Amino acid sequence: MSDGAATESGATLEQELERMLEIERFSPPESFRAQALLTDPAVYEEAARDPQAWWAKQAEELDWFERWDTVLDDSDPPFYKWFVGGKINASYNCLDRHVEAGRGDRVAYHWRGEEGEERDLTYAELHRDVQRFANALKDLGIGKGDVVGIYLPMIPEVVVAMLACARIGAPHNVVFGGFSAESVKERMEFSEAKALITVDGARRKGRTAPIKQQVDDHMHDLATLEHIVVVRHTGIDVPMREGRDVFYDEVCAAADADCPAEPLDAEHPLYILYTSGSTAKPKGILHTTGGYLTGVAATHRYVFDLKPESDVYWCAADVGWVTGHSYIVYGPLCNGATSVMWEGAPDYPHKGVWWEVAERYRATILYAAPTAIRTFIKWGADIPARHDLSSLRLLGSVGEPINPKAWLWYHQVIGGGRCPIVDTWWQTETGAIMITPLPGITETKPGSATTPFPGVFADVVSEHDGQPVENGQGLLVLTQPWPSMLRTLYKEEDRFVETYFARFGRETYLVGDAARRDKDGYFWVIGRIDDVVNVSGHRLSTAEVESAIVAHELVAEAAVIGQSDEDTGQAICAFVTLTGGVEGTDEVEGGIREVVAERIGKFARPKRIVWADDLPKTRSGKIMRRLLRDIAEGRALGDVTTLRDPDVMEQLQEKIVEAQAQEQ
């Protein structure tokens, strides 16, 4: 079915989608409801009546070495503790209990490499590999509480590495493979990581990046880092430093095969994951064990209506982001799911590769980002139409608002009109899905993440007084603690309180998103209210990008904003002032992009650079990004009288129109 071709009803796809835009809501199809795990809305009431009892019931689905005495200790908000006194291990819950129950032969991951290689990894095999690697880490002197960095591509070893750390109580700190080695170094430094697990080389669209070499170029002066473990993936030659570096396969071969999982306190740190905030310094989100597992396992089961015996679940995120942590690794493995793990990009070796993979493994559930869906729309409906996608029964969306048209395309073209869509709103900080449909219960509205998961309490409040906003836009907040919430920012307790729990008191979590609620109580998340931008679902701080740009020797000053973008949701637009007299040439522009790629990663490179003789500043010298956002979006300018030099705006306005015209 190409975009212009007729559908069964005789209309073109375009006409069909236009028509569907008028449909306000979609009920769960009867065929779906008939087999769904949850179909009775009474779960919402049950959870609302006694949230702690509801979460305790979810926690009971896990295996505990020792049961908790207290479900929630809320005596010192916002430092909440869940399942206090309980002893648990994440790796045990992901592996041992399935193997012990005779499910060891079930495939945990159908791994598919970029060049079409296939590797199925069963629960028993994963259990075996994790035990060996956990012992290898111990042999290297890594123990409970030591932070271990992980910088790996989408290969099964990344899961082994995470679970091996969890097994011995060493919090992992995974860095997304798209970040540069410089960013890895920064994150290892902030977390005082004792070891880093990385790879010889990473493949991307037929090319190999020399990861170990790049890591070495940056890591040499890091005193805390005692070991680098190198997974051989591409087989390229790598430099190895005697006494510090070891090969993964060699240390595993030398290690003991048995490594019982360590019983850990429910509040033992499971991982740190750095994410972007309002300042240039990334925030180390800290998640602990018992509450986090409870949240991810329960949401994974109910939001995806998971039937572990029959479903083939595919979360097409990267394991380096929170979506990968919660919904490629911990949630699915806790639930004994069979997942697909895809190493590569959506357009290599060809633009239909996702659909080829979905068809090959008979995927039943697909969880993807709107940015990917928009890309597929651009490529045309005829590409997925070449594949048999009839195995799909449920679709998910995450990472940014999904526009109704993309929602409908996803529903019709990928889901064949028969699959409910779960648009899931959550964050690195929340650990698990917070606002989402339950696919056997909720009537969905394209573009809305609908209502909070049972046991989660959200509201939209006024930025002035924190009072609920009945009509219109306000700030999204979560009003009660939930088990998978972040516990702190690693080594930055004050920043944790200041960022999330200062505005409306210590018991109200400030999300950082604007939202509105409609007459049915459905939430519509609009986007960030802080200086965080969302480029293709990748979270970035404008301050981080600015600080990379000003590292360029010819740059005097820079202001970065997120600009609406049809393909990537938002795109980075940088206003740059060069040092005295220097011309803004293509070469300088290329150099700036290079510095950003080197300091942060290629995905953070500005899409648009506007040369500015000056930037709009208040008399006290503060850059007014709000005005830059206004001109970038073509909005009428707000009040400019507080500017030191109001003429600046006129010049910039002309420049941005010029830059946009040139790109056409």
Smaller CB distance to ligand PRX: residue 320 or 455?
320
What amino acid occupies position 9? Answer: S
Smaller CB distance to ligand PRX: residue 322 or 558?
322
Residue 274 binds to ligand PRX (criterion: CB under 6 A): no
The strand ranges marked E within 518-554 are 523-528, 532-535, 538-541
Least distance in Å: CB of 405 to ligand PRX? 15
Q: What angle do CA 589, 592, 593 make, to 5 degrees?
A: 90
Residue 168 binds to ligand PRX (criterion: CB under 6 A): no
Smaller CB distance to ligand PRX: residue 512 or 606?
512
Smaller CB distance to ligand PRX: residue 259 or 319?
319
> Contact letters (x/-) for ligand PRX, 21-60, by CB under 6 A?
----------------------------------------
Smaller CB distance to ligand PRX: residue 91 or 436?
436
How many CB atoms are closer than 10 A to CB 564? 13
How many residues bind ligand PRX, per CB under 6 A? 21
Smaller CB distance to ligand PRX: residue 233 or 411?
411
- Spatial CA neighbour of 148 closest among 136, 161, 160: 161
Least distance in Å: CB of 422 to ligand PRX? 9
Least distance in Å: CB of 565 to ligand PRX? 15
Q: How far is CA 467 from the centre of its chain?
A: 30
Least distance in Å: CB of 113 to ligand PRX? 25
Least distance in Å: CB of 512 to ligand PRX? 6
| Among residues 198, 371, 428, 442, the one that binds ligand PRX under rule CB under 6 A | 428
Distance CA 301, CA 502 (A): 34
Smaller CB distance to ligand PRX: residue 357 or 511?
511
The first and second tokens of residue 92, run together, are: 């045990």
Helix (H) or strand (E) holding 655: helix 647-663
Binding region for ligand PRX (CB under 6 A) out of 72-80, 98-106, 457-465, 521-529: 521-529
| Among residues 147, 211, 525, 624, the one that binds ligand PRX under rule CB under 6 A | 525
Binding region for ligand PRX (CB under 6 A) out of 193-201, 219-227, 305-313, 422-430: 422-430
Per the CB < 8 A criterion, the answer to whether 419 and 381 are in contact is no
Distance CA 426, CA 201 (A): 32
Residue 513 binds to ligand PRX (criterion: CB under 6 A): yes
Binding region for ligand PRX (CB under 6 A) out of 249-257, 333-341, 523-531, 605-613: 523-531
Residue 531 binds to ligand PRX (criterion: CB under 6 A): no
Residue 330 binds to ligand PRX (criterion: CB under 6 A): no
The residues pairing with 509 across neighbouring beta strands, listed in sequence order, are: 478
Q: What are phi and psi of 367, to 5 degrees?
A: -120, 115
Q: What are phi and psi of 590, to 5 degrees?
A: -60, -40
Per the CB < 8 A criterion, the answer to whether 181 and 218 are in contact is yes
> Contact letters (x/-) for ligand PRX, 297-326, by CB under 6 A?
-------------------------xx---
Helix (H) or strand (E) holding 650: helix 647-663
Burial track 23-54 (b if 16+ CB lie within 10 A, e otherwise)? eeebebeeebeeebebbeeebbebbeeebbeb
> Contact letters (x/-) for ligand PRX, 392-411, by CB under 6 A?
------xxxx----------
How does strand 555-565 pair with strand 118-122?
unpaired
Residues 437-456 that bind ligand PRX (CB under 6 A): 449
- 3-state SS, one letter per residue, for 349-385: CCCCHHHHHHHHCCCCEEEECHHHHHHHHHHCCHHHH
- Spatial CA neighbour of 340 closest among 166, 133, 134, 159: 159
The strand ranges marked E within 1-130 are 70-73, 81-84, 87-88, 107-112, 118-122
Residue 528 binds to ligand PRX (criterion: CB under 6 A): yes
Smaller CB distance to ligand PRX: residue 399 or 439?
399
Residue 371 binds to ligand PRX (criterion: CB under 6 A): no
Residue 423 binds to ligand PRX (criterion: CB under 6 A): yes
Smaller CB distance to ligand PRX: residue 421 or 648?
421
Least distance in Å: CB of 578 to ligand PRX? 32
- Spatial CA neighbour of 649 closest among 608, 620, 616: 616
Per the CB < 8 A criterion, the answer to whether 167 and 181 are in contact is no
User: Could you tell me how many helices (H) and strands (E) the chain has, helices first?
Assistant: 23, 30
Least distance in Å: CB of 258 to ligand PRX? 36
Smaller CB distance to ligand PRX: residue 282 or 454?
282
| Among residues 55, 83, 92, 425, the one that binds ligand PRX under rule CB under 6 A | 425
Q: Which residues bind ligand PRX (CB under 6 A)?
A: 275, 322-323, 398-401, 423-428, 449, 512-513, 525, 527-528, 534, 539
